[in-house]
Chains A and B, each alone.
Chain A
Amino acid sequence: MPVMPHVTRLLAALRLSTLAIVVVTLFAAVASGPARADALDDALALFLTDKFPDTQKAIGQLVAEAPPQAAAILDALGDNRLLIDPANRVVAYRTAAGAVVDAKTGAPVASADAFKKVRVNNALRAAIDGARGSLTLANPDPEKRLAAAADVFKSRDAKALPALKAQLAKESDPRVADALKLAVAAIVAGSDSTTPAERTAAIEALKARGDPDAANLIDAIGQKATEPEVKAAAESALTNVRTRLMFWGAAQSLWYGLSASSVLLLAAIGLAITFGVMGVINMAHGEMVMLGAYATYVVQSVLPPSLQGWSLAFAIPLAFIVAAVVGVAIERLIIRYLYSRPLETLLATWGVSLILQQTVRTLFGANNRQVSNPPFMSGALHVGGLEITMNRMWIIVLAILVFIGLQLVLRATRFGLQMRAVTQNRRMAAAMGISTARIDMFAFALGSGVAGIAGVALSQIDNVSPNLGQGYIIDSFMVVVFGGVGNLWGTALGALMIGVAGKILEPLIGAVQGQIVLLIVIILFIQKRPRGMFALKGRAVEA
């Protein structure tokens, strides 16, 4: 039966460890008094003859009665460690440690000299293996039964089949029953000697499971089956399972894409605002995100344990303020002097990003900092074949809230009105008496502050390190190019498209290649729509 030497070695090790557990339970069982000691005695007596048919019977009785000692005895028998002393009518076994103990009581035997080994042949070995499986399958603890059934599903050990069926007939727990059916199905898939009815039942069970393993097993049954109706059933079940798998796979990709989009949106929306208003790219925008993440770290390190659950409630405003203050400082001290020199702004703000990174490195060290998820953001939700992690879900919620908040600021406040005016036509806005310098400053505060909030979100799913923001400037810019400036809906759609497209391309052609494809698409896109999807058109904006 053993396939590869290391597998057998592993199994042996497993047996030894189960043995140890069994020994302990054995003592417990002895202490509480055996329920049917006479049944055990009968079985043990059968071993004393050391005849194969008797041994076979003894195994059968052990399985049928399932006394607590049965597992240890069977293990010992399988490993040639079961000893008999026919003269004194004692059955014992050698433990892993080498001690010889009484099979019934577990008490050490005074002298092992009189004992001889119980002989085992191949037929018996098969019986022992089957008996072992059914013993666990018959375990009174449903969790253990579940685990045993899952083990059989994985091992596909045909010898467990009778035990599986026996247990299935009396199983009361529906979860265990399902698991047992699956295990049966798995065995049926690998076996050549099953009835069509068994096969059909197996296909049904596997279809219900519906994972890639199940698909492979159904395929195996279909390949082996000679009856047309079984073949047809296998085929339809296979299509069904594969369709479902594809659907859930697509749903999972979409979910990852949504999650990536929400992070992109948070990072890019601030850039869209500053780029829209001033036409310059702040290369230190990614560092605003990084500062936000460190703000979260600081909040978590200073808050008393009782408030840790509320850390994000403190972190979000702090991150906003820190990033906004730094953003305004950059605008006031550097960018405004470089107005109308956008390329040099790129270089100067890159310099700022280097300084910010190094400052953080000096203050907090170059290593990653650990930021923990508050309880409501931990764990995951399972919807069908979809795994939804809570932290990513809350980040999507946060992105939507930030988006709504910014829309409100832009649409419903005087400042927002003025900012939109400057975005569309700076000269005209200035002529109308809008203080463009003030708007620039506010736009920078707002854009950088939002980037800080993005940092809080990122700290929940990514490592917090001084280089955290570096990767985000390119992606954010792509989003802005796609979406066009001066319209947050464009930014949102851009983030959604790039995020989802990236995650869809990733499994198909790899992450890096996906990125290259997106880059080419964006270059081609600029050719068709140089100002993004939601661009303002007309002569005024082209000036």
Chain B
Amino acid sequence: MSRQLDRIGLVFVALLALAAILVPVLALATPEGSAFNIPPYLVQLFGKYLCYAILALALDLVWGYCGILSLGHGAFFALGGYAMGMYLMRQIGARGVYANPILPDFMVFLNWKALPVAWWGFNWFPYAMLLVVLAPGLLALAFGWFAFRSRVTGVYLSIITQAMTFALFKEFFRNDFGFGGNNGLTDFKDVLGFSLQSSSTKVALFSASAIALIAAYFVSRAIIGSKYGKALVAIRDAESRMRFLGYRVENYKLFAFVVSAVMAGIGGALYVPQVGIINPSEFAPANSIEAAIWVAVGGRGTLVGAAIGAIAVNFAKTWFTGVLPEFWLYGLGALFVLVTLFLPRGLLGLLLRPAREKAPTPETPALAIEEGADP
């Protein structure tokens, strides 16, 4: 990682930290209507962007540094979100429409008599937070263990990750699966006793997201800067060479994949209380692949670029869908095409002077086997 990139990263982190402190002050301490006041809806909107940025950062860790283009990271994000959503659901208690102190509304509606085992303990915040980490982490562990040991790489891996999230997408749609089916989880009231409607909670969630993003950045930065990170990049560029050097490539990929999935899950957990709903559409393959374009727009293999890309693209999306709703998909489609064709190193690539004399990074080969070492 170049020194220049590090500097950009530090500036970005400093801005985030500033936002984490200033936004609460400006939103709460200034009178409504004053020039410095930030309306709660904006705080919430940018809080959402920050959660997307965490997802993008997580994706960049595996795609930018290990060549694993996961098209299923939205699944990890959504799993973290569901774990948080289940906690928020239990917090509703007897305030639901059916006023059942134990069962969430949808279960009463489905005529269920008892709380399913999967929901046990979710009224307890630490347990829910544990699951925010464990659910995506274990899925990534199981999936990665099979996939990386099988030496599935390149487009094979990408499509299989997409198939993974697609399967979950369908599974979560089923009412029988026990997570609210089509409607998902919603009508949340409060988190840790603070009402989700109050401005102070919204602002606190924003700051928490900013801090989580900063933490994710530093953790990723530390991983990438270590010898492990160097090995990861070496695996991206010449996987079989690393095997012949004695590295267990599958373990290296698995670690990065699991760390990345957990980060994505944390992003999802912070996302849910801010948007007030989690439903199966978060598992839709389109969501995951959209996250890949945030990373590509910002510049993959830069960490900070991925986060900036997520914020920029989502800001554009909000603006576009407000002004020209029917043209957003054209714009998004064009973004996919133009960035890959003309901006392979993303926005940050434009800023940075070419650190490498050799242009684009060699891609992982198309086929499932490792690249041949000799022609």
Contacts and interface: CB of A to CB of B under 8 A. Distances in A.
A516 interface: yes
Contacts of A543: 372, 374-375
A355 B330 contact: yes
A contact patch SS: helix
Given A346-B69, A512-B174, A527-B151, A474 B336 contact: no
A346 B71 contact: yes
Contacts of B36: none
A523 B337 contact: no
B243 interface: no
B93 to A, nearest CB: 32
Given A342-B363, A346-B155, A474-B166, A351 B375 contact: no
B159 A474 contact: yes
B101 to A, nearest CB: 32
Nearest to B337: A351
Interface stretch (B5-13, B190-198, B205-213, B289-297): B289-297
A358 B329 contact: yes
A343 B167 contact: no
A539 B372 contact: yes
B369 interface: yes
B313 to A, nearest CB: 13
Contacts of B293: 347, 351
B123 to A, nearest CB: 29
A347 B344 CA distance: 11
A523 B166 contact: no
Interface residues of A, number: 46
Given A527-B151, A542-B372, A351 B146 contact: no
A344 to B, nearest CB: 4
Nearest to A338: B340
B369 A542 contact: yes
Contact of A526 (B166, B368, B375): B368
A355 B339 CA distance: 15
A347 B292 contact: yes
Contacts of A512: 167, 170-171, 174
Interface residues of B, number: 52
Contact of A347 (B150, B340, B367): B340
A347 B69 CA distance: 10
A313 interface: no
Contacts of B366: 279-280, 342
B357 interface: no
B149 A527 contact: yes
B336 A523 contact: no
B332 interface: yes
Interface in B339-375: 339-341, 344, 360, 363-369, 372, 374-375
Q: Determine which residue in B69, B160, B340, B341 has the highest number of CB atoms from chain A within 10 A of its CB, and name it.
A: B340
Given A348-B340, A513-B171, A530-B368, 13 more contacts: A343-B363, A344-B296, A346-B158, A347-B336, A350-B289, A358-B330, A512-B171, A512-B174, A515-B170, A523-B152, A527-B146, A527-B152, A542-B372
22 contacts: A334-B337, A338-B340, A340-B363, A341-B340, A342-B155, A344-B296, A344-B340, A347-B339, A348-B340, A352-B337, A354-B330, A522-B160, A523-B147, A523-B150, A524-B146, A526-B151, A530-B150, A530-B369, A531-B369, A539-B374, A542-B369, A543-B374
Interface of B: 67, 69, 71, 146-147, 149-152, 154-156, 158-160, 162-164, 166-167, 170-171, 174, 285, 289, 292-293, 296, 326, 329-330, 332-337, 339-341, 344, 360, 363-369, 372, 374-375
